[in-house]
Amino acid sequence: MDLNNWFFGLEYRSVPDLIWRCFFLLLASALMLWLIYLAVIKAAPAKKKIDVPRDFSLKLRFLAALPLFLVVFSVYIYFFIKTAKPSELQWQQPSFYLNLLPQLIIYAGIIILFLINYSGYVRSLKKTEVNHA
Amino acid sequence: MPKPTIIIGIGTSGLRIVEQVQHFYYENTGRNKPDHVEYLYLETDENSYPGVTALKNEIKRVYLDLGNKETMINSLKNNIRLDGSWLPPAGETGDNDAGAGGWPAFGRAALWGFENFNQVAKSVSNAFAAVANYDVKEGDDSKPVVFITGSLTGGTGTGVFIDLAYMVRNLIPDIDDVFGLFLIPGLGKDGGFSDKETIYCNTYAALKSLDYFTSKRNGPKYALFYPNGSSAKFEKSPYKLVQIISQDYDGSVPSIGTLAGLYKMAGLYVFLNIYGLREERMRRLVDAWQNEHMGKYGTFGLSAIQYPKAQLEEFLAIDLSLELLNRWIDPNMYYAQGNKIQMNAARTGIRKETFTHFEKLLREAFKSLDTVEVEKGRQIANDLPRQARLVNFNEHQEESDYHYIWKLFSSQQAGNYYEAIRHNIKRAEDIIIAGIHELITGSVDSYESLYLAHMQLKIIIEALDNCLNYWKSLKLSGQQPKWEAMLDQQIKWMLKKRYKSVFEQNNVLADRLKTTLELLKMHLIANKLVAIRNNIVEGDFPLVTFENNVELPRLKVLDGIISIIGKTAGKEERQKDEKQLNVLKERKAEILDDIQDNSIPILRVYPSNSFKDEVKNSNHRYKQLSSKSIPSKNDIIGEASLWTYLSRSKDTLNKNLYFDCISQFERDIRRYESVKDMNISDYVQREPREAQKIAARALYALAKVNPDQATTFRDHMNIPKLVIGQDQPTINRVIEKLVGDMNFHEFSNDKNGVLEIGGLKNILVFYAEKGLMNNNNLFNPAQHLRYIRDLEMLYHDTPRYRGKSPQEWHIIRMPYIKYQKEEN
């Protein structure tokens, strides 16, 4: 097992290998998402025109971090496809998609996470409770 | 050379006459009085005050307090130095409740009682001091002339008029020229006494008393001690000359229709006397007195042709005042930068603006509480991040984070945020009160529309309701148990998911503490908002700020102001208890009545032949010259705040509005010369017949004489008969026209027939003094009045119908003569 295989391998080896790849990719994605989220939080201007509660602000920034992560992830996918040998890109083969499963999970997961957070945020805005936790 | 003069009006009639004097003087000179004249008036009716004048009213009121007649009379009776035999019974109330109650004895007692005597003495002395040093040329004596005027019908005039004349003589040593001008009632429309027996009885008693002190007899006529300890002893009569006038003419001329008309004639007479007529009369009467062609009594005939410039100016001032007041209380529209705006159309915009204003206020109020100090030098808003750190790093001494935060915000703890905010909540309340006050005053001052302010105040109520309802939906209220329940929820929320993973726990907790602090402010201010709302809607007393005592505007106040303005304008009916209200529309009607009163011997003439056209032209001229298309508050109070002016005092608002509007507009009208002068002789050239008719009315005395159908007045070369005008050429033109066209020779333009008074504009006066009867007797009203014998019978018969003995009747009606003496 090497790092290259974890992130750029397309060859199916075994189920545990696939699980490991999935695990490392998720871990790396989470780390990247956390870094982007942190960067978005810290990059926010100190003085705001509207005094938004910090809870809202952090939720909103997380929503902003998700698309940013998706961009970074897309760059990764670009290099991922670019480094693959043409023989490995067997689009008609179901096993090819099995090998792409970690990337697909993250792609879909990010979109689902965005939608869940977005709807939760909108819902909390509409609430008439004093705190919106 | 004019002599120092004091004019004293007695009672309400006296006031009205002095007002007319002041009015005529203003009309001719633009001033209310000359430097050598002082106006005083004595009044027992506490509700009677001088009316409106364009300039400062110069009439000084001397109130004879009859508040507690019983105590006053008893105190006079107990004064052993005084002859109290004339004092009326202490427990009685008189014919009516006002002033002296129609009883001369009460009128006299009012002069003598309590501090009244000293007050009158002081007022007369002060008036004398004010005019005594008037520029008197060498050879003139500096003793002033005193005119005392009023009616001999009510309690005040008939009770005071003799004492007052002697008081003047006592206070101003060696004074000779004390003149009286008194009004007596004419016969009623039915030719009788028209159910006003007591008035006629008072007149009879007054004439008898006057005659008692005026007729020739030996020994002191007036010898007594005054209540202040001084004494008076006089052998001479109280007055040098008393003029008696009534609404009735001596002759077949119709009577003067109204009492106001008679006041006007009396006012014109006194005015002419301070403006030059007295000198001319005295010059002529000296010989008449020496040759016994004139006695101590007189009357006169007086008529005039007048262009009523002052009435026109006042009428126009009232029109402009009405325009202004109607602008202030117009429920449908208001003016913004000179444009008329429909209230309904602007409502949406006003609502939005007002809501924004209210939100801003609320924010300011909340923000003001951020600076509350929890500890010395540490403001509450700055303390929150510190508290967040203490909680997040567990640096506090409490058993749990929950407990630590609870102690900060709980109503059950002392020395915490709750207590700090509660102690300073007035600060926030004051900001809201001051803000609403600013909104309403700003609106009233800028747009001069009280209905607009009313609308804004209602929108504020709506905004308050919305705010409170929203807070209610958040389960926020001013109740402590509810706050404690909410605090529990808040703490639980504050302590969960604090974003530690992104190192935001301090910011997040500080922010949540801030949210809780805002909720605490809402909880504590909620009751204040309810109080503010209720105060605006139905408060009897205003909420005021701690600093500067800024009052919260209330609907009741606005409604009250609108109502008073409506009543002042005459748009709203007055209540039964509002008899004293000054109403512009009524004043307008009074002027019209006066202008159209053909029963008074003043013929009103106009360049455009109609009063209505004259008003229209003058209004147009005023607006053109002043460049003001619509009247505004600046015309009345300048740059001062309209809201402050209107809300100052409800009790005086009607009076202030009425006086200020008329006087300020009148002043402006004069400044812009909106009403032009008119040369009366031009009218006489046009209408000699009308002029001759009015001149002829001056030949008839304003008192019906001749009880035996044999005696009436006669002319004499020593008794003045004058045409009084601005200059000789004007008078000449008039006389020549009357002689030439109308063959009217009663007035002449020779030296003795003309009185030139330079400042006398817009009026030409015909004056004929009366005092000599055709049987060469000297006029005495107690003998020569047409109905004097009927009066005598009435005086003696009435007590029987009133359940009084002749002596009781005498005591209350004739306080100057002892009962036995009168009988003798």
Task: Please check whether residue A25 lies inside any domain of the structure.
Answer: yes
| Cα-Cα end-to-end distance for chain B | 46
The question of ipTM being above 0.95 is answered as: no
CA distance B119 to B45: 16
Task: Please check whether residue A133 lies inside any domain of the structure.
Answer: no
Q: Residue B280 in 3-state DSSP? A: helix
CA distance B415 to B657: 53
Beta bridge partners, B754, equal B723
* Chain-chain contact of B502 with A133 (C-beta, under 8 angstroms): no
pLDDT of residue B377: 83
pLDDT of residue B594: 82
CB contacts of B526 in chain A (<8 Å) are: none
The count of domains in chain A is: 1
Residues B436-450 have a mean pLDDT of 96
Instruction: Choose the closest CB to B474 out of A53, A58, A128.
Output: A128
CA distance B573 to B146: 43
Determine how many CB atoms are found less than 10 A away from the CB of residue B370: 16
pLDDT of residue A132: 47
- Residues 420-479 (B) with a CB less than 8 A from some CB of A: 473-476
Residue B749 has pLDDT above 70, yes or no: yes
Instruction: For Cα atoms B80, B83, B85, give the angle at the middle one, nearest 5 degrees.
Output: 115
**Could you write out the DSSP letters of every residue in B754-778?**
EEE-TT--SEEEEEEEE-BBTTSPB
pLDDT tens digits, residue range B580-635? 788 999 989 988 988 888 888 999 999 988 899 999 999 999 999 998 889 999 99
Report which residue type is found at B776.
N
pLDDT tens digits, residue range B689-711? 999 999 999 999 999 887 676 77
Question: Mutation test of the interface with chain A: which of B469, B494, B515, choosing the one with the most A Cβ atoms within 10 A?
Answer: B515
Q: Residue B747 in 3-state DSSP? A: coil
**Non-local CB neighbours of B324 within 8 Å, separated by 6+ positions:** B631, B632, B633, B635, B636, B661
**A125 versus A118: which is more confidently predicted?**
A118
Which residues of chain B does CATH 3.40.50.1440 include?
5-239+787-823
pLDDT tens digits, residue range B122-131? 999 999 988 8
**B737 versus B797: which is more confidently predicted?**
B737
pLDDT tens digits, residue range B464-488? 999 999 999 888 889 999 999 999 9
Question: Mutation test of the interface with chain A: which of B493, B495, B517, B521, choosing the one with the most A Cβ atoms within 10 A?
Answer: B493
Per DSSP (E only), the strands in B641-738 are: 721-725
On the 0-12 / 13-18 / 19+ scale of CB atoms within 10 A, B105 is buried
pLDDT-based confidence at residue B94 (cuts at 50, 70, 90):
low
Any A CB within 8 A of B489 CB: yes
Residue B360 has pLDDT above 70, yes or no: yes
**Nearest chain B CA: its distance from A104 CA (Å):** 26
Q: Which of B352-356, B474-478, B749-753 ranks highest by mean pLDDT?
A: B352-356
Chains A and B form CB pairs within 8 A to the count of 43
Residue B133 has pLDDT above 80, yes or no: no
DSSP state of B369: G
Report which residue type is found at B180.
G
pLDDT-based confidence at residue B135 (cuts at 50, 70, 90):
low
The closest alpha carbon to B813, from B167, B42, B209, belongs to B209
Residues B788-816 have a mean pLDDT of 84
pLDDT of residue B180: 97
pLDDT tens digits, residue range B624-662? 999 888 999 999 999 999 999 998 888 889 989 998 999
Taking CA atoms, what residue in B is nearest to A35? B502
The domain made up of B5-239+787-823 is a member of CATH 3.40.50.1440: yes
pLDDT of residue B800: 76
**Nearest chain A CA: its distance from B331 CA (Å):** 39
Beta bridge partners, B222, equal B234
Return the residue matching tokens 């120092």: B4
Q: Lowest mean pLDDT of A89-93, B418-422, B558-562, B658-662, name the range.
A: A89-93
**Non-local CB neighbours of B321 within 8 Å, separated by 6+ positions:** B569, B584, B631, B661, B662, B665
The closest alpha carbon to B99, from B168, B18, B160, B185, belongs to B160
Contact A56, A41 (CB under 8 A): no
Enclosing H/E stretch for B298: strand B297-306
Contact B285, B719 (CB under 8 A): yes
* Chain-chain contact of B511 with A53 (C-beta, under 8 angstroms): yes
Task: Please check whether residue A8 lies inside any domain of the structure.
Answer: yes
Task: Please check whether residue A121 lies inside any domain of the structure.
Answer: yes
Residue B194 has pLDDT above 70, yes or no: no
Question: Mutation test of the interface with chain B: which of A55, A57, A63, A117, choosing the one with the most B Cβ atoms within 10 A?
Answer: A55
- Mean residue pLDDT of chain B comes to 89
pLDDT of residue A84: 81
DSSP state of B370: G
**Nearest chain A CA: its distance from B461 CA (Å):** 23
Instruction: Choose the closest CB to A54 out of B473, B503, B504.
Output: B504
pLDDT-based confidence at residue B822 (cuts at 50, 70, 90):
very low
CB contacts of B489 in chain A (<8 Å) are: 130-131
**A17 versus B125: which is more confidently predicted?**
B125
**pTM for the whole thing?**
0.75
**Nearest chain B CA: its distance from A51 CA (Å):** 10
**B505-538 helix and B450-473 helix, angle to the nearest 10 degrees:** 140
* Chain-chain contact of B512 with A58 (C-beta, under 8 angstroms): no
CB contacts of B502 in chain A (<8 Å) are: 34, 37-38, 41, 58
Residues across chain B: 824
* Chain-chain contact of B515 with A53 (C-beta, under 8 angstroms): yes
Containing domain of residue A29, as a range?
A: 3-126
CA distance B729 to B352: 70
CA distance B207 to B798: 17
Task: Please check whether residue A93 lies inside any domain of the structure.
Answer: yes
pLDDT of residue A93: 81
pLDDT-based confidence at residue B370 (cuts at 50, 70, 90):
very high
Instruction: List the alpha helices (DSSP H) in B687-818.
Output: 688-697, 728-742, 781-784, 788-802, 806-813
pLDDT of residue B746: 92
**Nearest chain A CA: its distance from B437 CA (Å):** 28
pLDDT-based confidence at residue A133 (cuts at 50, 70, 90):
very low
CA distance B811 to B824: 15
Q: Lowest mean pLDDT of A16-20, B316-320, B439-443, B495-499, name the range.
A: A16-20
Residue B444 has pLDDT above 90, yes or no: yes
CB contacts of B370 in chain A (<8 Å) are: none
Residue B552 has pLDDT above 90, yes or no: yes
pLDDT of residue B824: 41
Look up residue B382 and give its two tokens.
Answer: 């700055």
Residue A17 has pLDDT above 50, yes or no: yes
Residue B218 has pLDDT above 80, yes or no: no
pLDDT of residue B190: 64
Chain A residues with a Cβ under 8 Å from any Cβ in chain B: 34, 37-38, 41, 53-55, 58, 128-131, 133
pLDDT tens digits, residue range B34-81? 888 999 999 888 777 777 665 678 899 999 887 777 788 888 888 877
Task: Please check whether residue A131 lies inside any domain of the structure.
Answer: no
Report which residue type is found at B194.
S
**Nearest chain B CA: its distance from A59 CA (Å):** 10
**Non-local CB neighbours of B820 within 8 Å, separated by 6+ positions:** none
